[in-house]
Amino acid sequence: MTIAVGDRLPDVTLVKATAEGPEQVQSADYFKGKTVALFSVPGAFTPTCSAKHLPGFVEKAGELKDKGVDEIVGTAVNDAFVMGAWNQAAGSQDITMLADGNGDFAEAVGLTMDGSGFGMGKRGQRYSMLVEDGVVKQLNVEAPGDFKVSSADHMLSQMS
């Protein structure tokens, strides 16, 4: 079942990419007590993700924070080393990367996709969500191949 607005995020282990190396975090603890703009991509360093999705959240980080977002989090079914390298290459200090290396989070929120045709295996779908104290307040899931509703611009328009 796909997560919906009003649902609490599932509690799974994610891995935060840090300068000191990978750090395991529990999603229930991590999202507790703060407002988070979360975006998911099928894969770090993939074309749309690197050219549009991550750069949009980097560019709009200040505006999101002005609207009450405490943290901006990117996630993908990649390991923490890849997520950290992607953030160093194309991101910013304003973005926290939480690796979902085994796809447990994507599976738990019901937002997986089959990238086998591209040699990618099971991945998370492209989406964004606004999470307040662990509860989904907005959920924007893209149609396959699209990049419209999961953008930082779209999220900002919903917060106006």
Provide the annotated active-site residues.
49
Q: For 83, phi and psi rounded to 5 degrees? A: -65, -40
- Residue 107 sits at φ, ψ, to 5 deg, of -65, -45
**Nearest CA among 103, 150, 107 for reference residue 130:** 150
Helix and strand totals (H; E) in the chain: 7, 9
